[in-house]
Amino acid sequence: MKLISNVLLLIILSGLVACSPQIKKQSATTIELNSGWQFSEADQNEWRTASVPGCVHTDLLNHELIEDPFYRLNEHNMQWIDKKDWEYKTTFTIDKSTYSKEQIALNFEGLDTYADVYLNDQLILKADNMFRGWEVDCKNVLNEGENTLRVYFHSPIKVGLDIYDNYPYVVQSSANDLAKIGQVPGEKWVSPHVRKAPYQFGWDWGPRLVTSGIWEPVTLKAWDNAQLVTIHTQQKVLNDSEAKLTSTFEIEATADETAQLAINIDGQQLANKKVHLKKGTHTYPIDFTIENPQRWWSNGLGEAHLYQLEGELSTSAGTESFEHTLGLRTIELVREDDEVGRSFYFKLNGQPVFMKGANYIPNDVFLDRVSPEKYEHIIKSAADCHFNMLRVWGGGIYEKEIFYDLCDKYGILVWQDFMFACNMYPGHPEFLESVKHEADYNVRRLRNHPSIALWCGNNEILAAWFGWGWKEDNEKTQPEGAKAMWQAYKDIFLDVLPSAVNEFDPDRQYWASSPQAGDTIRTNKIDGDEHDWRIWFQDVPFITYHDGAARFVSEYGFQSFPELKTVKKYALPEDYDINSEVMKSHQRSFIGNGAIKRYMDNYYRNPKDFESFLYVGLLLQAEGIRTGIEGHRINMPTTMGSLYWQLNDVWPVASWSSIDYYGNWKALQYFTRKAFAPIMAVPDTKTDDLLIYAVSDKFEDTPAQLNLEILDFEGKQLWSHSADVNIKANTSTIVFKEALKSLLKNINTSQVVLSTKLSVDNKLVYETTSYFKEAKDLILPKPNINTKVEKVAKGYQITVSTDKLAKNLYLSYDEAEGWFSDNYFDLLPGESKTIVFETKEDINNLQKQLLIRTIQDTY
Ligand code: BMA
């Protein structure tokens, strides 16, 4: 009924207001200014074509003025770039009708970082923060006809050094600021002072390549009467029969005027309203109702249903619209006292949901290189592996729109950090002002995305201040500085940022630091979120993950080098040794190689060569983090989140990532698809009993069949067990328990595999293999593996079969780009499996080119 009455109203009103798209009179003209740009080193007058959006490094690369910065040790020779100033310029023409508009503004959506902008040689803007947009009125400086726009970028290092040298104390940074590689005089940490992507100054998985450039689009907007600045849509009521919403229009008007607002959902007008615009910038709410709403669910729990919202402002000058996607859901971070301590879990649409996912960093050190396809590949990979959350970590960037659009679409919730990580920060008024603008800008930009679940102030600063000795060290060496740094912490993370959330996105919660326990303490196991780095940094075994970790594990991880195919892109055969200069330079963790080696010795036999080392290293990481995910999930509902460190890479490197820089899935990514499965079984063979946990994310109990088998490596069944089990909803339950001593009485545990299968309605929903000994202690026979390769529409289909256990079978085409539908899996004796290698390339001599490896080949 409601809809019909709105349609009628529309017909009546259409006589008054131009509503149909065909007859829409544009009230605003928007011109893109992203072409015709040139760049030059400042004062050198050597102008060459440039890309906008872009950066100086990729422009130099496109002109072959520098070599590939990722290749071998090239990064070290490119440190001069960030010590120079650079200029960008373009010309554009303004026609009469645009020029005659009342208001004309230039919009810079992102300038990296210290940028003086000149229009027709007149300074119109001095920018100093990469993370915000800038709108500049330019009517008085603009010409009808030709105009020149010039942007002068000051070296962020030189500006940073200037601030650093004149600052009353040293702002504590971490060793992630690779000032030494950056060849910064005195190895000074300038990064805390510069509001620019922290990871470009280096990180323990990243190169030191500090860019300058116009990294987001530039537009010019001209308008008469009024402009629709933005819309914020808030959900007031959501139940099965209706969603009541309010869209608040922010409108800037040049004079008082009567205007018309309208809301269209999926092309249908649901509300309109006459408003009296007041001169200046003001807000105007309009209410509307969606009948029988479809909810937005996170991946795995239902459809991530999206509505398309279009808000229209019509004045006597014409109609302007603003669009955003709309997802109807409730989300809440639940913090309640309980028998363990205090909960930390997300409730989506009223249901507690275990968060499965990873930490996300930018996809390149040069942001302009990340194609829409790359974004989609990364987020679709996460969704395909049952992730429902990514944490946009605070040392990268507030991501581009496309990232959140994809998360909305694939049902991936976003834990959104503000861009502050592992540094203390200055707290002088100009800095706080800059941070305030940055926070306001990004909260306003992103708040309509249903995927965003939480705003978080920073990464590991609270932990560093209280737990890494920063407080004590600074209190000793620079007491006044220590006081000032803590005050700045409170100002930024307990005032400026939460105020921005409160003001512009009051429906979402704010969490000051990750990790944090309670409201103040850095970390503990009973309250808040936790970064569990005992594994990796403290050398404890992987099984420690089963110890009943914290309430929500927002970081934990283990490194690997990428596969050989990726190593080949940055290293020569003569570098194939993890201690070579090139490989060491592509390993940024100060404990990296040693930690990998020590853990490898605990679980695997010594790999016989470099290629074997890479492959075993990938398995080591995958097994370790699988143990982590399983440990967290079996601890449900005490633990309600497992976000490992880290999903992706910014360059080809040894890191904690599960997908390498080129988009190849490491073994870990394949393992997450199993470990994050909606229903899974976790065999635990590490205590006196064989325990089988069944874990479910479903909201109803699932009757299932459990099948267990112990097989020798030739395929002979030595023991089996089948039972009907009830898999309890949204928790973890033990569905099998038997003393290992009696179970393994006559069994040689170095020669057997345990196969665990869960079936629902006679359909296999989960299977996994486990062992009673570490891989190094297994006596593995040499399997005979058969392969058959056929061309299929998407690429090639490979069928593999084996006579004996093929442990962690790995397939690769070193020379072809593509993606294997499965890899690094155990193939049981007598089993066969069909895998698709998706590729656009034609591969000659397929059978020969296919490389196959199992653990048995590594020693
Ligand atoms: C955490 C992250 C990153 C870092 C990772 C590995 O501290 O927040 O700072 O890269 O650990 O050391």
Provide φ and ψ at 359, rounded to 5°. Answer: -85, 140
Instruction: Please tell me the pTM assigned to this model.
Output: 0.95
Q: Tell me what percent of the residues of the chain surpass a pLDDT of 70.
A: 96
Q: Which residues pair with 47 in a beta bridge?
A: none
Cα–Cα dist 529/788, whole Å? 48
Any idea which residue has 């060496």 for tokens?
477
Residue whose CA is at the smallest distance from ligand 1 atom 10: 204
Model confidence at 489: pLDDT above 50: yes
SS3 200: helix
Ligand 1 centre distance from Cα of residue 590 (Å):
12
Nearest atom of ligand 1 to the alpha carbon of 205? 10
Mutate to test the pocket of ligand 1, among 460, 462, 530 (most ligand atoms within 8 A of CB): 460
Q: Which amino acid is at 231?
A: I
Ligand 1 in contact with 559 (CB < 6 A)?
no
DSSP string, 131-188: TS-EEEE-TTT--SEEEEEEEEEEPHHHHHHHHHHHSSSPPP--TTS-TTTTT-GGG-
Nearest atom of ligand 1 to the alpha carbon of 459? 8
Q: Which among 82, 28, 132 is positioned nearest to 366, based on CA atoms?
A: 82
Ligand 1 in contact with 320 (CB < 6 A)?
no
Burial class (CB in 10 A: 0-12, 13-18, 19+), 831: middle
DSSP string, 34-88: -SS-EEEETTT---EE--SS--HHHHHHHTTSS--TTSTTGGGGGTTGGGS-EEE
Ligand 1 in contact with 204 (CB < 6 A)?
yes
Contact between 806 and 783 under an 8 Å Cβ cutoff? The reply is yes
For 26-67, the pLDDT digits (tens) are 678 999 999 999 999 999 999 999 999 999 999 999 999 999
Ligand 1 in contact with 205 (CB < 6 A)?
yes
Ligand 1 in contact with 360 (CB < 6 A)?
no
Residue whose CA is at the smallest distance from ligand 1 atom 4: 204
Residue whose CA is at the smallest distance from ligand 1 atom 7: 460
Cα–Cα dist 47/35, whole Å? 15
Model confidence at 480: pLDDT above 80: yes
Ligand 1 centre distance from Cα of residue 283 (Å):
41
> What is the residue-averaged pLDDT of the chain?
95
Cα–Cα dist 544/549, whole Å? 9
DSSP 16: T
Residue whose CA is at the smallest distance from ligand 1 atom 12: 204
The reported pLDDT for the residue numbered 369 is: 97
Burial class (CB in 10 A: 0-12, 13-18, 19+), 468: middle
Provide φ and ψ at 149, rounded to 5°. Answer: -120, 130
Mutate to test the pocket of ligand 1, among 174, 645, 653 (most ligand atoms within 8 A of CB): 645
Mutate to test the pocket of ligand 1, among 173, 176, 200, 204 (most ligand atoms within 8 A of CB): 204
For 552-595, the pLDDT digits (tens) are 999 999 999 999 999 999 999 999 999 999 999 999 999 999 99
The stretch 638-658 carries a mean pLDDT of 98
Nearest atom of ligand 1 to the alpha carbon of 537? 12
Nearest atom of ligand 1 to the alpha carbon of 557? 6
Ligand 1 centre distance from Cα of residue 665 (Å):
21
Cα–Cα dist 709/731, whole Å? 25
Nearest atom of ligand 1 to the alpha carbon of 176? 9
Cα atoms in the 13 Å half-sphere on the side-chain side of 288: 23
The reported pLDDT for the residue numbered 175 is: 86
Contact between 851 and 814 under an 8 Å Cβ cutoff? The reply is yes
Contacts of residue 464, defined as CB under 8 A and 6 or more positions apart, other chains included, come to 172, 174, 422, 424, 470
The reported pLDDT for the residue numbered 844 is: 76
For 189-242, the pLDDT digits (tens) are 999 999 999 999 999 999 999 999 999 999 999 999 999 999 999 999 999 999
Cα–Cα dist 807/804, whole Å? 9
Q: Are strands 218-223 and 257-265 parallel, antiparallel or unpaired?
A: unpaired
Ligand 1 in contact with 645 (CB < 6 A)?
yes
For 129-176, the pLDDT digits (tens) are 999 999 999 999 999 999 999 999 999 999 999 999 999 999 999 889
Lowest mean pLDDT among 7-11, 171-175, 781-785: 7-11
Ligand 1 centre distance from Cα of residue 555 (Å):
8
For 88-129, the pLDDT digits (tens) are 999 999 999 999 999 999 999 999 999 999 999 999 999 999
Lowest mean pLDDT among 77-86, 277-286, 721-730, 837-846: 837-846
Whether residue 637 has a cis bond before it, omega within 30° of 0: yes
In Å, the largest CA–CA distance within the chain is 92
Contacts of residue 541, defined as CB under 8 A and 6 or more positions apart, other chains included, come to 535, 602
Q: How confident is the model at residue 15 (pLDDT cuts 50, 70, 90)?
A: very low
Q: How confident is the model at residue 520 (pLDDT cuts 50, 70, 90)?
A: low
Q: Tell me what percent of the residues of the chain surpass a pLDDT of 90.
A: 93
Ligand 1 in contact with 417 (CB < 6 A)?
no
Q: Are strands 355-360 and 351-353 parallel, antiparallel or unpaired?
A: unpaired
Ligand 1 in contact with 422 (CB < 6 A)?
yes
The reported pLDDT for the residue numbered 525 is: 79
Ligand 1 in contact with 555 (CB < 6 A)?
yes
What are the Cα distances from residue 531, in Å, to 515, 590, 591, 645? Answer: 6, 19, 18, 9
Q: How confident is the model at residue 12 (pLDDT cuts 50, 70, 90)?
A: very low
Residue ranges of domains in the chain, CATH in brackets? 29-218 (2.60.120.260), 227-316 (2.60.40.10), 331-675 (3.20.20.80), 679-777 (2.60.40.10), 785-858 (2.60.40.10)
Q: How confident is the model at residue 16 (pLDDT cuts 50, 70, 90)?
A: very low
Q: How confident is the model at residue 785 (pLDDT cuts 50, 70, 90)?
A: very high
Residue whose CA is at the smallest distance from ligand 1 atom 8: 459
The angle that helices 592-603 and 610-634 make with each other, rounded to 10 degrees, is 80
Contact between 326 and 233 under an 8 Å Cβ cutoff? The reply is yes
Model confidence at 14: pLDDT above 50: no
Cα–Cα dist 526/344, whole Å? 9
DSSP string, 279-329: SEEEEEEEEEEEESPPPB--TTSS-B--EEEEEEEEETTEEEEEEEEE---
The reported pLDDT for the residue numbered 816 is: 86
Any idea which residue has 């869960």 for tokens?
758
Ligand 1 centre distance from Cα of residue 640 (Å):
21
Model confidence at 379: pLDDT above 70: yes
Ligand 1 centre distance from Cα of residue 380 (Å):
24
Model confidence at 1: pLDDT above 80: no
Structure tokens at 520: 């103040």
The stretch 640-653 carries a mean pLDDT of 98
Ligand 1 in contact with 460 (CB < 6 A)?
yes
Ligand 1 in contact with 780 (CB < 6 A)?
no
Ligand 1 in contact with 649 (CB < 6 A)?
no
